[in-house]
Amino acid sequence: MARMKFFCDAERCIECNGCVTACKNANEVPWGINRRRVVTLNDGEPGERSLSVACMHCSDAPCQAVCPVDCFYQTEDGLVLHDKDICIGCGYCFYACPFGAPQFPSEGAFGSRGKMDKCTFCAGGPEETASAEEQRKYGANRLAEGKLPACAEMCATKALLAGDADEVADIYRERVAYRGAVGMATGWGVGYGKPGIRSNTIDLTGKAAGRD
């Protein structure tokens, strides 16, 4: 079975926040909730890098481990989803998550947290697929329609990759090989490479040879 993953190529991300906007539009998330965000390191300095971050759908998810009501589940695609009917909005997943993915609408007494909301990999939730209820609680279920998450499909520079982990890895490996940074997945200064460098690259997949 496929295992779905996000990957953000920091050499390509230009911090346009198109993924954030696409996510909001596709999932119609409540005001104040951002399932995805772009974090820029060393903003405005030479060598700045940006990364688009959302739920990374961990294989061994800390949120799932720490949830006091056990509302998380993993799909066959390896997606970490949760049931909003069970969630009590305690915030423990937010303390535990390495990526700050869980978001909480402020509702109830003393501005306490409402039901947690996070990236679903555009795969909806436990409600009936494509139902109005699913759309209202969890947003789009693009995966059921055979589409990838809106953020990745919208990405103008194709920095944000989403899909089956093996394919994402293949695409990225090809890029790394193209950049000529053998043995270094990240860190080459040029995202798109220079003309002429290509002939020297080792094509690990065999896919790049015929394309231009």
Q: Using CB under 8 A as the criterion, which residues of the chain lie in contact with other proteins when the complex forms?
A: 10-11, 15, 17, 20, 32, 34, 36-43, 45-47, 49, 51, 53, 62, 65-71, 83, 85-92, 94-100, 103-104, 106, 108-113, 181, 184, 186-189
- Closer by beta carbon to other proteins, 46 or else 210: 46
- Closer by beta carbon to other proteins, 49 or else 173: 49
Sorted by sequence, the CB contacts under 8 Å of residue 41 that are 6+ apart come out as 48, 49, 50, 51
- Closer by beta carbon to other proteins, 137 or else 143: 137
- How many CA atoms within 13 Å lie on the side-chain side of 160? 29
- Closer by beta carbon to other proteins, 103 or else 143: 103
Distances (CA, A) of 37 to 6, 8, 34, 129: 13, 12, 7, 26
Contact between 85 and 113 (Cβ < 8 Å): no
Six-digit token string for 29: 């998330």
| C-alpha–C-alpha distance, residues 99 and 65, integer Å | 15
Number of H helices, E strands in the chain: 6, 6
CB of 81 to other proteins, least distance (A): 14
Contact between 138 and 145 (Cβ < 8 Å): no
User: Which H or E run contains 39?
Assistant: strand 37-41
- Closer by beta carbon to other proteins, 143 or else 178: 178
CB of 142 to other proteins, least distance (A): 21
Provide the CA 18 distance to its chain's centre, in angstroms.
Answer: 13
CB of 47 to other proteins, least distance (A): 4
- Closer by beta carbon to other proteins, 5 or else 24: 24
CB of 37 to other proteins, least distance (A): 4
151: phi then psi, degrees, rounded to nearest 5: -60, -45
CB of 171 to other proteins, least distance (A): 19
Number of residues in the chain = 212
CB of 34 to other proteins, least distance (A): 4
